[in-house]
Structure formats: structure tokens, C-alpha cells
Structure 1
Amino acid sequence: MTAIVILALVALFIGLRLYAVLGERTGHEQPILKPADPDARVEARPAVAPAQTSSQLDPAGMAYLPLAGPGVCAILAADSNFDVAGFLEGAKSAYRLVMESFWKGDLDTIRPHVDGHILDTFEAAVEQRTADGLTLDNRLVAIEQAVITEASLTKSVAEVSVRFEADIAAVTRNADGAVVAGSMSDAVQTRDRWAFRRDLSSRDPNWLLIETDEEE
């Protein structure tokens, strides 16, 4: 399991600005298949957050697990601009951006949005890959699910954890371009949990990705 602290939400000026979201991941050289979770997500009930509307739910009508309910409710009460559905959409966009940037070794794109020691981890991995003469030819096929698993508010600081379930086609090539691992014809299911933080008293709408873990 790799825990990584990173990503100040993706506020891009290159085509897409990810406003109230987070996202980021360390990135494995090859994703690991994970079993499906029959209890993956639970319907968000209006009783958990009285001010919640359908616009705060993802298309499946499920946005967060029951244990995250009180934290989500506290954040909604403290920040009228916080929108659950918008947050999750931004998180998914950030997830894609970070993954693809890491695979390409283009860390400048995410540098402003990631925590220092996370960036160091990314850079070390890219440098090692380069030294070994390897390149990643990975493709994010689809993000199947994104659900808030934990949420909390301490004074004005909000923290939200999101679990991503995604299908990734992963290939590692050597210096000659030959495939040494993986296959582009088979997508592998991955499951990652990313945690984000934001000071709600700040004018900066960006979230910082503070941790990522690969789930079993």
C-alpha cells in the first residue's frame, strides 16, 4: 500500500479548471486486479443532510457511504458552495489528469497541485523508470465508481476521502519498444482511496490531495 500526500485540486488553465475537487494517485507501474465490493456504495439519504438536493448526487443516486454522512453534512453546513456531485466529478477529472501525467512522466502539469513529498515520490518513480529504460503505455479506460468514504470538518479544515474504481489497460515497454509487462487488450480493475483537504475559510477553491492508498 502506498500512502501519498498530494494534489491541490486541479485548477487548470489548459482547457479544464477543476474547481471544488481533488484527486491524485501515486501510480503503480502496473495496476493490480481487485475484487468487486458488494457493499461498495450506499444511497445518500436526505435525512443525513437535510439541505442536500438531487444535484448533489452522482448519476446512480449514491454519493457517500453512511459513515461519511455526518462529515459531509458538516461540510455542507459550513460551505454553501460545496456540492457533492460537483466535487466527485472534479475528483474524477483530477484522477484522470494525475494518472495520465504520471504515466507520461509529465509532472510539470500537476506540480502546482501536489504536496511536496508526493511529488518527490512521483519524480523518483519516473527517474527510476527512465534509468531502467522503461516507459508506460497505460490507458484509463473508465472510472466505474467514485464515492466518498470518509469526511470530516475540524474547525475550518475539511477532509474528504474518495474511493475510485477504475479500469486500466496497462503496458510497460523497454527501450526498444517491446512489451515487457501488461496488455492493452485486457483492462484491469483498480481500486484507490484518495484523501483531500481544504481550508474552507480560504478564498482558494482548490483542494489538496493529502493521501492515496491502493485498496485490497
Structure 2
Amino acid sequence: MVSIIILALVALFIGLRLYNVLGERTGHEQQLSLKPADAETVATPRAPVATPGQPAPAEPLDTAYLPTAGPGVRALLAADTSFDVARFLEGAQGAYRMILEAFWAGRLDEVRGFLDPEIAAAFDGAIAEREAAGQKLDNRLIAIEQALIAAANVTGKVATLTVRFEADIAAITRDSGGNVIAGSLSDAVQTRDRWTFRRDLGSSDPNWILIETDDE
């Protein structure tokens, strides 16, 4: 019995640490593609308006990305004029939800095309261990409290963006009989993760691929 509980706690830990991965899917379900679009940008920088005879006001603080990511974001906007910050973050949140749910359900093939091979392999390993132990995750992503760009870089035609997510997740592990052996759906855990995505700006493929995950 003790060994079963230990395995359950390990599975729960892996579940909470590994739900870090991306592609993109805007909307509620389905179009994994973090591609730019003509959407309203609710948090992108706006040019300050100057009053004749007075100095121009300072540029407002952008809530879509951290100040340290500003130079990289501006470099990306210059390299790809169709890139839209708000649309990207909207898609990143959709991808965050879809990929976590695919991992928790053990259906990674649904999002495999949007994962770097190493990330996909890590997920596959965790799913295999869970199934070998006769366990099933019954997790819920309750809410994404915040998603913003924490780092941005453009090297040649390759762009990388790191998104910081703050989310509430309720996690539970069940045995093969459906009995709860760890966690609770009534007690959400606040999580903070950083997902790094990459895209070749010279490619016609609009998708961003998850290349790295980390937690804070």
C-alpha cells in the first residue's frame, strides 16, 4: 500500500512538472497554430501622442511582455511585420491548455507535431510510467491567471519566445479501479511555468514549436 502511494505521489509530481509544452491553438479547441492574425491587440505598445509645443509623453508600459523582453519583441516585429503580440499570447494559452490535457489523457499524438522531439520523448516516458503503474491522471486546468512574454530573441531568421504562465490546476491521481490515491479536485494548486517556442520566420509554416520547458 505504501509503495502504491509513493508511486502516486511521483506520478502527481511528474504531471505537475511536465505539463510544459506548446504548439498553438487559438479558439477553444482547435487549430494548433500560433500564427499571426488580424486580431485586436489589447496589450501591444501604442505610439505616444505629442501635444504641439510639449515633449512627447513616455511610451506606456506594455503588459504583454516584461520590460527585459522589449528589445527582442521589437526585433521580432521588425523582422516579421505580420506578427501580433496579443494574438500570439491568445494562441499560446490555447496551446497550453490543449497540450496539458493531451498529456494528462495520454493522447500525445494529438499535439505531437507541435513538440520538439526531446519534449515529446519526455512526455512519452512519463505517460508510459504512469500506464505501467496502472495509474490515471484526472487533472483540471481551472484558470490561466496570466500569460506574458518573458524573453524574446531573433537570430537570423529564427525567433524564440519564452512565455511565462501563471495558472491554477487541480490534480488527482486514480488507480486502475478509478479510486483516488493522490490529490484533490477541490484544491487547485497555483503553478508558474516558462515555455520557450521557436519559429523559422522564413518558413511558410506559421506554427511555433515548443523547444524548452521550465518552472519557477
Name the TM-score, length of structure 2 as normaliser: 0.76
1:68 corresponds in structure 2 to: 69
Supply the distance in 2 between the matched residues of 1:77 and 1:164 (Cα, whole angstroms).
25
2:6 corresponds in structure 1 to: none
1:18 Cα deviation from its structure 2 partner: 3.7
1:180 Cα deviation from its structure 2 partner: 1.0
1:16 corresponds in structure 2 to: 30
CA contact (8 A) 1:101 1:107 kept: yes
Bigger share in helix: 2
Supply the distance in 1 between the matched residues of 2:25 and 2:170 (Cα, whole angstroms).
27
1:196 corresponds in structure 2 to: 197
How many residues in Structure 1 have an aligned counterpart in Structure 2? 182
Q: How does 1:1-216 map to 2 (within 5 A)?
A: 7=22, 9-10=23-24, 16-20=30-34, 46=46, 62-215=63-216
1:103 Cα deviation from its structure 2 partner: 0.2
1:19 Cα deviation from its structure 2 partner: 3.1
Unpaired runs of 5+ residues, structure 2, are 1-13, 36-42, 49-61
The SS at the match of 1:64 is coil
Higher relative contact order (Cα pairs below 8 Å, separated by 6+ residues): 1
User: Any idea what the Cα deviations from partners look like across 1:46-87, whole Å, max 9, x if unmatched?
Assistant: 479xxxxxxxxxxxx610000000000000011011000000
**Letter aligned with residue 62 of structure 1:** T
Supply the distance in 2 between the matched residues of 1:15 and 1:84 (Cα, whole angstroms).
20
Supply the distance in 2 between the matched residues of 1:192 and 1:154 (Cα, whole angstroms).
24
CA contact (8 A) 1:172 1:180 kept: yes
Structure 1: 4+ residue segments shifted above 3 A? 1-7, 43-48
Supply the distance in 2 between the matched residues of 1:69 and 1:180 (Cα, whole angstroms).
45
1:137 Cα deviation from its structure 2 partner: 0.4
CA contact (8 A) 1:4 1:211 kept: no
The SS at the match of 2:202 is coil
Supply the distance in 1 between the matched residues of 2:46 and 2:139 (Cα, whole angstroms).
39
CA contact (8 A) 1:3 1:211 kept: no
Supply the distance in 1 between the matched residues of 2:201 and 2:96 (Cα, whole angstroms).
22
Work out which of the two has the higher radius of gyration on C-alpha atoms and give 1 or 2: 2
Supply the distance in 1 between the matched residues of 2:140 and 2:76 (Cα, whole angstroms).
34
Supply the distance in 2 between the matched residues of 1:204 and 1:169 (Cα, whole angstroms).
34
